């Protein structure tokens, strides 16, 4: 006599490695089972008023990061030129300066993605967006 067992289906909510809420002790996993690490959250500065001094402080910090990491940056000259352009545009009240700053807000995150200056570049872009309102 052969006894066949039915294949047991996974119970709903078990074995997925994903939980929405509750106390999670195990490392998070994505849907293909790979561990998720180095996850960063960001918030949009839209609707938030940022003062010029904050933007200038972030610009100075970004320049310092670029200087310190210049050898490892593939687009170091572009980042320096963008920082100079932002600095010049911050003091010019005309529409062209505003357009330049909006362009920097859009371009900067892509230029710094995956580099050692990513966090500072993204912070600067978010602050600029908030300042431009």
pLDDT tops 80 at residue 27:
no
**Tokens coding 35:** 């561990």
Q: List Cβ neighbours of 126 (8 Å cut-off, separation of 6 or more).
A: 42, 43, 44, 45
pTM: 0.63
For 69-96, what is each residue's pLDDT tens digit?
999 898 999 999 999 999 999 988 788 8
pLDDT tops 70 at residue 6:
no
At 8, the pLDDT band (50, 70, 90 cuts) reads low
Pairwise CA distance, residues 55 & 93, whole Å: 15
């Amino acid at each position: 006599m052969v006894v066949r067992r039915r294949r047991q289906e996974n119970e709903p909510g078990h074995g997925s490695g994903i939980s929405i809420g509750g106390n999670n002790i195990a490392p998070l996993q994505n849907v293909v089972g790979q561990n998720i690490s180095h996850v960063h959250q960001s918030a949009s500065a839209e609707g938030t008023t940022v003062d010029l001094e904050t933007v200038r402080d972030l610009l100075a910090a970004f320049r310092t990061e670029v200087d310190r990491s210049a050898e490892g940056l593939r687009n170091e000259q572009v980042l320096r030129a963008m920082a100079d352009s932002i600095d010049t545009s911050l003091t010019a009240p005309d529409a062209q300066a505003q357009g330049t700053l909006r362009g920097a807000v859009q371009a900067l995150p892509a230029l710094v993605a995956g580099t050692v200056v990513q966090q500072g570049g993204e912070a600067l872009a978010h602050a600029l967006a908030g300042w431009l309102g």
